[in-house]
Structure 1
Amino acid sequence: MKLLTSTILTAILSYALPASSRTIPITLDIVNAQGAPDGFKRSMVTANGTYPGPLLTATKGDTLVVTVHNKLTDDTMRRSTSIDFDGIFSSTSNAFNEGSSFVTTCPIAPGESYTYTVPLIDGQAGTFWYHSQLSVQYVDGLRGALIVYDPEDPQRHLYDVDDENTIWQVGDWWHNTTLPLLAGYVATGIVPVSDSGTFNGVGRYQGGPEVPFHVVNVQAGKRYRFRIINTSARNVFTMSVDSHNLTIIETDGTNTAPMTVNQLDLLAGQRHSVVLAANQPVANYWINAPFVGGSPARNLNQNATLSRGILRYKGAPNADPASPMTLGPAEAELNALVEANLRPLITSPAPEADINITLNLVVTAGKAQWNVNNVSYLSPEVPTLVKILEGANSADDFNVTENTFVLPANKIVQVIFPPSDDDEEHPFHLHGNNFWLIKSNSSEEINTANPVKRDVAGVGSTGTIVRFSTANPGPWFFHCHIFWHLQAGLATVMASGLDEVRKEVHPTSAWNKLCPAYDALPADEQ
């Protein structure tokens, strides 16, 4: 099977904006396919045979009905699967369709199918993505964009073009498959270092073939809304476009007050929409997407300078830019994003906290083990949601290694991450909800007056504080989006309103069959 590197399958999955809400049927066949995103051919885990997976689009208020057929056969990677729709809110009653393996569901066994019904609630719109939520499986390729359009976007006057061609997906890529990579991590405690980075599904590695860079076409005089998604399992990408500014108008699905920069970092799982005015002379310009994630000395294939695309004006030659490849703006010209300076489009103070939780992150030296408050998370055999439905009512009803915090409904929870000695910033992601970013790791400022809301924030050397509401009860995964660290234990579950969950959650018979089917599998098919 030839692996497509397009970000879209518009004939199948991209839809025109409707006048009213709809139910959108989508089929994802999860298959092994041969591909070479950076010129190195290998077997991959894909949705519908593409990397990235097909673009999913919807309009605010729609309902996605996503039928997943698991057709995986390659035993060098996980053969079961589970799909998470990253950043999409989940109502309490629909928690069983949230897709977090061993938290809200069991994985889909090979040869089996499951249909996720995903209503888009609370007026949610913006830039999201989907990926496997089983172990580190999405490292093997199962990831793609999910865009929810808002016909009444309050910032629509700032741009002229926002379509399937204005989505930028950056990601880390490995030449080896995940089971041997994970075995090496467990044996050494050294997180695998990627071979390359990809921009909309294509990249290059040091000494590899000169795979053509992805081209983004623009027309002089128009303004473009580019939706940038970091689909990495580890790497931080630094985005810029030679000779152009970028005006941020959205962060993780939240409209933000316009902020003009010429460079911005995205941690794994983070998203931004930026407006670029095509106001430069007609030519080709580099889109710079260098990355960091572990020491390049551990993987000599890595050359972050080769991670990039081309912004091509209409009328420019079909050629690479004449300017040299750089990592971005020179220091004297740098106007980089400082996360703490982001503000919501509509000013809104964060509510006062009712509950305070402190999470200390510690790595065990020389081992593939991370602890949160001295506990290394291990996925339970019985999913958290199943235990709640069967009567679990306190932290004592869960294994210690599930690191589950039992919280009351309708409260505001403040989570404090103290400063860390670790030299890597950890992108902590909350499922089912988002949070107010009270203190960003990028600043010492405490901001309760008008903090931005997002669902992935960095935790590192200066400390981070977030607040979230438990008005939407459920067992929601809260973990590092460096999936190697998640697999090594850097995760918790925020389980709120357990009585409300039991009253509102009524799983389907198809969901009830997932665990027995998965549990019956031999280990090499799980």
Structure 2
Amino acid sequence: MKGIRICLNLLFGLATASLGSVFHHDDSFQPDYILRVTAEDYTEACTNRYSALVNGSSPGPELRLKEGQVNWIRVYNDMKNGNTTIHWHGLTAFTAPFSDGAPAASQWPIPPGHFFDYEVKPEVGTAGTYFYHSHVGFQAVSAKGPLIVDSCDPPPFSYDEERTILLSDFFNETDKHIIDGLTSTNFTWSGETKAILVNGHSRQVTNDTGSCQLASISIEPGLSYRLRFIGATALSFISLAIESHDITIIEADGHNTKPLNTSFLQIGSGQRYSVLLTAKSEAELKKVNKRHFYIQLTTLARPKTLTNFAVLQYSGGTDVDLKAVPSPPPLPVAEISQGWLDYELESLHPDRGFPKLEEVTRRIIIDVHQNVSDHVIWLQNGYDWVQNFPQSPYLIDIYNGKLDTSATYQRAIARGNGFDNITRTFPAKIGEVIEIVWQNQGTFDNGGVDAHPFHAHGRHYYDIGGGDGQYNATANEKLLDSHRPIQRDTSVLYRYREKTKPLAPSGWRAWRIRVTDAGVWMYHCHILQHMVMGMQTVFMFGDREDVLSQSGPVESGYLTYGGSAYGNATHSPVVRHFYE
């Protein structure tokens, strides 16, 4: 009961939090964590690349937070050129209003030579697996790291130890070169992923030059493990399996699930899963005369399939040669499973907050497809969105009274599709229950179709499924009669085929969300290339009065680029503590 009382107290504190006081974060202030973003030469996958790094490495250090508790995380921009931010991927709206880390949406980015103190408070009930990453340009390909939120109650599943396994991509070209090619009228694709990294390690072939090696995940015979898989890739949609081991899913995107046994995972960019793995006993290992097993990773829905490996290493044996790559692969090369686990993965506990179809006040259908005009772009309902579209961040304009939220909402409703083409936002009122349908379409010129992992900032949504063709609300509701949808923050819009007719429907993904928290939230494809090419949207929840009543007044130092809320070598920042 002690752990339960702690959680109840934290929950009460959340509900009754004051609007905070203002402090100078001078030398007497000690943040819980310090992250320093630099740009420098760094070696991965036997190749040197100029990359954005966190604390000098990729991935950066693991952060460990506790639900319901305030954490101060100071982020320095030590780069000489270029802005940065850090986004706490998957954490819900219960952070301070400028702490989501989405530039042009909810905060000014951190200028070179400055730092910003993020106030991060994981919501009670969302203990699980997350990660952090820059939200500027292509920096997230390397500037990222794991973030784990621990529960204030005993976990519902028992295990002896845990391991964090962060998956990422490697590209030979620099961030600038990739962005210049993607946004140029002389469009140049970034190229496909050169390597799938596991905790920053990868090796392509045994005779690669250099000291790079496969990642090794060490375990002990007979113990049970929680493996936390983080899909921090830029492009890759990955199928993952462990040689001679099955696993049981117990968490998806920070929400506990009913245990579901599986032999593999499909992980899109931005998704996270926790699984239970029971290590083999000494007797089982002796029987097979083997103490290491390969983790096989395969890219899906790409023009060319790439298969890479890591090693699950049992103690007590001869060290495996991590510079040797298995050939042929120990497992069959994976193929995509369309709609994987739709209507199968369920919440561990009954969720009385799930809105039924009759509660939906408005449905927003977002058609997504690629278009070629003077350059190649991705459109949502006919418009792209890039980080430099608004002259100043939307949330800043709301505080400054420069963005008329009522007029924005009226225009969106009048257009009939919920989209305001003037601000390029999707506004909603507090109290609405909205259904958001992502509708995949064939490319305008040749009918090509891609898979997209869509990620929502702010509040988690209920993933109510997906399928081929066009969304049918009545038919889908029948499937939900016997299914308890889980809350997610990232789910995959499948393509179902490589090509179709131009603008023809080819797959949908549907979400439901109760609009309860005022703010400006990015909703976007989490493939970095697609984001740079315009595959992003902005949802504005609540009007200006809702925003102000939720946060109270804010200091001008938050409302200007490089303002006094951003510290540097000459002055300490003036910071409001939104959670006392």
TM-score (norm 2): 0.77
Distance 2:192 2:423 in 1: 28
> Shift of the alpha carbon at 1:183?
1.5
1:501 aligns with 2:567: no
Distance 1:501 1:128 in 2: 26
Distance 2:467 2:40 in 1: 39
Give 1:202's aligned residue: 201
The residue type equivalent to 2:521 in the other structure is W
> Shift of the alpha carbon at 1:43?
2.0
Structure number with larger C-alpha Rg: 2
Give ranges in structure 2 of 5+ residues lacking alignment.
1-5, 14-29, 413-418, 443-447, 470-474, 496-506, 566-580
Distance 2:564 2:66 in 1: 34
Secondary structure of 1:385 counterpart: helix
> Shift of the alpha carbon at 1:58?
1.4
The question of whether the paired residues in 1 share the 8 Å contact of 2:76 and 2:116 is answered with yes
Deviation sequence 1:121-157 (CA, Å, 0-9, x none): 2432100000001122212x10110000125244332
> Shift of the alpha carbon at 1:331?
8.0
1:378 aligns with 2:379: no
Residue number among 179, 182, 195 corresponding to 2:179 in the alignment? 182
> Shift of the alpha carbon at 1:424?
1.8
Structure 1 stretch displaced more, 100-109 or 451-460? 451-460
The question of whether the paired residues in 2 share the 8 Å contact of 1:29 and 1:70 is answered with yes
Give 2:223's aligned residue: 222
The residue type equivalent to 2:171 in the other structure is W
Deviation sequence 1:280-308 (CA, Å, 0-9, x none): 51510001122246434xxxxxx822x22
The residue type equivalent to 1:470 in the other structure is V
> Shift of the alpha carbon at 1:445?
5.3
Structure 1 stretch displaced more, 214-223 or 442-451? 442-451
Residue number among 398, 415, 428 corresponding to 2:436 in the alignment? 415
The question of whether the paired residues in 2 share the 8 Å contact of 1:190 and 1:368 is answered with no
Structure 1 stretch displaced more, 366-375 or 247-256? 366-375
Structure 1 stretch displaced more, 105-114 or 434-443? 434-443
The residue type equivalent to 1:103 in the other structure is A
Residue number among 468, 489, 492 corresponding to 1:455 in the alignment? 489
Q: 1:331 to 1:143 in 2, by over 3 A?
A: closer
1:387 aligns with 2:394: no
> Shift of the alpha carbon at 1:330?
7.3
The residue type equivalent to 1:149 in the other structure is D
Give ranges in structure 1 of 5+ residues lacking alignment.
1-18, 297-302, 519-526
1:511 aligns with 2:558: yes
Give 1:161's aligned residue: 161
Structure 1 stretch displaced more, 24-33 or 79-88? 24-33
Distance 1:126 1:442 in 2: 31
The question of whether the paired residues in 2 share the 8 Å contact of 1:284 and 1:320 is answered with no
Q: 1:237 to 1:24 in 2, by over 3 A?
A: farther
The residue type equivalent to 2:436 in the other structure is V
The residue type equivalent to 1:376 in the other structure is D
Distance 2:146 2:72 in 1: 16
TM-score (norm 1): 0.85
Question: What percent identity do the matched residue pairs reach?
Answer: 24
The correspondence of residues 75-90 of structure 1 with structure 2, limited to 5 A, is 79-90=82-93
The residue type equivalent to 1:390 in the other structure is N
Q: 1:329 to 1:275 in 2, by over 3 A?
A: farther
Q: 1:284 to 1:472 in 2, by over 3 A?
A: same
> Shift of the alpha carbon at 1:471?
0.6
The residue type equivalent to 1:192 in the other structure is G
> Shift of the alpha carbon at 1:419?
4.3
Q: How many residue pairs align between the two structures?
A: 483
The question of whether the paired residues in 2 share the 8 Å contact of 1:263 and 1:329 is answered with no
The residue type equivalent to 1:115 in the other structure is D
Secondary structure of 1:476 counterpart: strand
